[in-house]
Amino acid sequence: MPFSLNSKTVDREFTKSVEEISGEPLTKCMQCGTCSGLCPVEATGDVSPRQIIHLTALGQRDKVMNVKFAWICASCYACQLRCPRGLDIPKIIEAIRLITLRKNENFIEPFAIETGCNTDIPQIALVSAFRKHTA
Ligand code: SF4
Ligand code: SF4
């Protein structure tokens, strides 16, 4: 997805918050794209792991908060194992999710789930989705 960057939209506090919550310095990323190449859900997302880290490092809060990738990430750790800079990418993505959840905003609303769908979806998947996607 192409993004136009504008210095007026830079939010350094957002970058700082993600770094503080994750404990990962985003400037370590050299944008090699190894994480994107390994990510099993990259093709289903609106940005790649490399792009979300780049946008976060550049303080593009609105763009990062408006893409769905942080919620699609399966926290599988494939990217983290191969990142040449040793970045814990899932932790960075978790920090992005937490910024929303700490405002008491749910990404999925348990009561909006259609009655009867629990016969098609494994219960463990629902429990894990509630843990990851609700405040
Ligand atoms: S693999 Fe690591 S260094 Fe390379 S783009 Fe991903 S986060 Fe950045
Ligand atoms: S942890 Fe998330 S970003 Fe990293 S490879 Fe797995 S799904 Fe992709």
Length of the chain: 135
What integer is the mean pLDDT of 51-80?
95
- Ligand 2 pocket mutation pick from 89, 92, 132 by most atoms within 8 angstroms of CB: 89
What are the extents of the domains in the chain?
Answer: 7-103, 108-135
**Cα 63 from Cα 94, distance rounded (Å):** 16
pLDDT surpasses 70 at 78: yes
Residue nearest to atom 2 of ligand 1 (CA): 83
pLDDT surpasses 60 at 113: yes
Q: Assign 1 a pLDDT band (cuts: 50, 70, 90).
A: low
Indicate the CATH number of 7-103 among 1.10.645.10, 3.30.1230.10, 3.40.50.2300, 1.10.1060.10: 1.10.1060.10
Please tell me the predicted confidence (pLDDT) of residue 22. 97
Pick 102 or 120 by higher pLDDT.
102
pLDDT surpasses 60 at 7: yes
pLDDT surpasses 80 at 8: no
Q: Assign 4 a pLDDT band (cuts: 50, 70, 90).
A: low
35: which residues sit within 8 A by CB, 6+ positions away?
Answer: 48, 49, 50, 53, 79, 82, 83, 89
* Tokens (6 digits) for 45: 């997302």
User: How far, rounded to the nearest angstrom, does the alpha carbon of residue 74 sit from its chain's CA centroid?
Assistant: 9
Nearest partner of 66 among 87, 51, 88, judged by Cα: 51
Q: Assign 112 a pLDDT band (cuts: 50, 70, 90).
A: confident
Are 59 and 12 a contacting pair, CB within 8 Å? Answer: yes
Residue 21: CB atoms within 10 A of its CB come to 17
Dist. CA 114 → ligand 2 center (Å): 28
